Amino acid sequence: MTHTVKWNVGLQLFEEAGTTTARVVLDTAAGRFTGHGDAHRNPADPDVPEIGDELAAGRALDDLGRQLVDVARRDVEAIEATGPSARSGDGWPSPDRM
């Protein structure tokens, strides 16, 4: 079975007073997910905005990734709770391995 979908991702970065905030939005056919991340510059550190951008964006993407894994885990658990199904199980990790 071939399955192709397109998900759209948008990432916004905001910096103010030594704090960079990132927001990543993922639109899927099933819904919308938003990840958040922050980076705080120590006043003693040099002002290099790219580092704050990288940290905040990475943290926002990590947050988004955790949300997607949690949703997938719940979906697998819901399928398993309904009893045997037509799927073979090959290639689907058990919820405790996600």
* Domains defined for the chain, CATH in brackets: 8-83 (3.30.160.240)
Q: What is the mean pLDDT of residues 8-20?
A: 95
pLDDT in tens, 61-90: 999 999 999 999 999 999 988 876 555 555
Task: Tell me the per-residue pLDDT of 26-61, one tens digit each, with 9 for 90 and over.
Answer: 999 889 999 999 999 999 999 899 999 999 999 999
- The answer, yes or no, to whether residue 93 has pLDDT greater than 70, is no
- 37: how many CB neighbours lie within 10 A of its CB? 21
